[in-house]
Amino acid sequence: MSETSEKVNVLNDAEKDVIVRYRNVKKAFGDTVVLNDLNIDIKQGEKIALIGPSGSGKTTIIRMLMTLEQPTEGTIEVDGQMLWHKEVNGELVTADEKHLRKVRGSIGMVFQQYNLFPHMTIMKNCTEAPIHVLGLSKQEAKERAIKMLTKVGLADKVDMYPAQLSGGQQQRVAIARSLVMQPKVMLFDEVTAALDPELVGEVLEVLRDIASEGETTMMLITHEMDFARDVADRVFFLDKGSIAEQGTPDEVINHPKTERLQTFLGRFN
Ligand code: ADP
């Protein structure tokens, strides 16, 4: 085999592993451009931390993946499926709602506010979507829920209501509820930001556990630098709508190159 064809094969294998791909993505709200020419490839199982000052575009990046925002230009793909466009006879046409719903099914998201249904037990919170969206039987959904609630250490709380749990416990339920759907990609938007400081640790611990299992592709927006350093395979530093630095946690967090990143990290010391 010639050197050239070997290289092509390596490239193809690498491409096959990519589960999330942003290509030349621009996002503007009115005249304000909030993301500019974003290109990101995330491999299956990779853990990505997005860091950067408030307003730099981190949430918009993951909201577009969740199909809550549409890019102004460019394309986004998840697991080989175009989010906003699909290929029909080799041409890109705008995706319909049915297509988007299908793609959304492969993505889970946990927000800063845990948004559990207050009038439902913890078990019901975790089984509603698998029953109604995935079409699982009650029994199957319950089994999955127990498995995930055990993973987050809350299997004994199935009959309780959200208000009976602490904020940290509620956020752990929200994580379990998302995992029950067995998403290919999990998005976490500052999941500890609304918690009292003493409750942050238990939620990060759960995320560390999920990350260490290695299967789930994760994108996390976080201001917890120690956590990002431990969990992430790659860190992206967003600044004014662009990726200003990226690399391993050691490169980005321990050895920042630009003054902007040094200043940003300085706030956490
Ligand atoms: P971050 O997550 O880094 O704090 P965001 O992605 O939330 O940043 O926001 C990036 C920029 O986009 C901010 O200037 C914000 O005000 C603006 N923005 C976000 N959502 C909207 C919206 N729906 N309409 C107008 N501007 C928005």
What is the Å distance from ligand 1's center to 32 Cα?
A: 10
What residue owns the CA closest to ligand 1's atom 22?
29
Note whether 41 and 29 are within 8 A (CB): no
What is the Å distance from ligand 1's center to 72 Cα?
A: 14
- In the numeric block, the tokens 């408030």 are attached to 54
Structure tokens at 258: 């630009």
From the CA atom positions of the chain, what is the Rg in Å?
A: 19
- Beta strands across the sheet bearing 81-82: 32-43, 18-29, 73-78, 81-82
- ipTM above 0.90? yes
Give the pLDDT of the chain (269 residues) as one tens digit per residue.
444 444 444 445 556 689 999 999 999 999 999 999 999 999 999 999 999 999 999 999 999 999 889 999 999 999 988 888 877 888 878 888 888 888 888 899 998 887 899 999 999 999 999 999 899 999 999 999 999 999 999 999 999 999 999 999 999 999 999 999 999 999 999 999 888 899 999 999 999 999 998 889 999 999 999 999 999 999 999 999 999 999 999 999 999 999 999 999 998 87
Ligand 1, atom nearest to 53 Cα: 3
**Sequence-separated (6 or more) residues with CB below 8 Å from residue 16:** none
Ligand 1, atom nearest to 30 Cα: 25
What is the Å distance from ligand 1's center to 28 Cα?
A: 9
Instruction: State pTM to two decimals.
Output: 0.89
